Amino acid sequence: REDEEEKELRQRFMAPPVSGLRELRRRRRELRSRMELLIMETQAEVCRALAALDPGASFAVDSWERKEGGGGISCVLQDGEVFEKAGVNVSVVSGLLSEEAARQMRSRGKSLKAKDGKLPFCAMGVSSVIHPKNPHVPTMHFNYRYFEIEEADGTKQWWFGGGTDLTPTYLNEEDAIHFHKTLKEACDKHDLKLYPKYKKWCDDYFYIKHRGERRGIGGIFFDDVDSPSKEEVFQFVKSCAKAVVPCYIPIVKKHCHDSFTPEEKLWQQLRRGRYVEFNLVYDRGTKFGLLTPGSRIESILMSLPLTAR
């Protein structure tokens, strides 16, 4: 039976999980294991939904290891008919937090008590950026992650973060309503206060200060969420992850065969340039990744489009 279960899991995912199926099964009740299975499932769900829309292209799947602990699975589809570049990455890393990364967290109000200057941590998440060819199909980004840090006295601090947001080149009101409504329904299942709060957070976060403009039409964004309880926040994150395919795929289907002009393509390239600016200058995930020793640069910079101006 165990072999069958293992076979089924292998078929469900894009690659074997970082922690190994045996280890995940052994710790199946622990939240860390459940979160790793959720991010693996989300990666596979999104990759399959995208591949179904772009049958001529396929995902290159690349598993990597980090010598300091952990690793990841990077799935990238490039130069398809529908998608210029679509990346869906999973990473599960552990080890000791670098001083710079700890400083970044303390600046957000975390009181982290290190033991001999060392802070053992474990971080895992799924993150994706999808850049379509057609200027009438919006770019989409999502990311859901879990963090655990062990302090000097052995107590563990934990929190979840994440979000899903949309960046159209051309605004289509119907699409915007569909996107936000789907995310709102996912939030409302848990608490009616969450959507307005996380929608505002998203608008404020994806703001390009030096341009005085927002990156897209938002969505939801949250970080450092550690209440009401670990189980409740996990269930909320699960609802958000399950909303990714229904909030985006119908929009791609609707517009991927729209005709467009060279001028519209140029405008898309310029809007993408703004995307690049935000990710390289302000994005916290990019900064954290680059500050983590042994991290994989290609995976961190996966969010960059193939072309931009």
Residues with catalytic annotation? 141
The total of other beta-carbon atoms located within 10 Å of residue 59's CB is 21
Alpha-carbon distance of 243 to 239, in angstroms, equals 6
Alpha-carbon distance of 293 to 249, in angstroms, equals 35
Ranges of beta strands (E only) in 32-119 are 60-65, 70-78, 83-96
Alpha-carbon distance of 89 to 2, in angstroms, equals 27
First and final C-alpha spacing in the chain: 54
- Residue 156 burial by Cβ neighbours in a 10 Å radius (0-12, 13-18, 19+): exposed
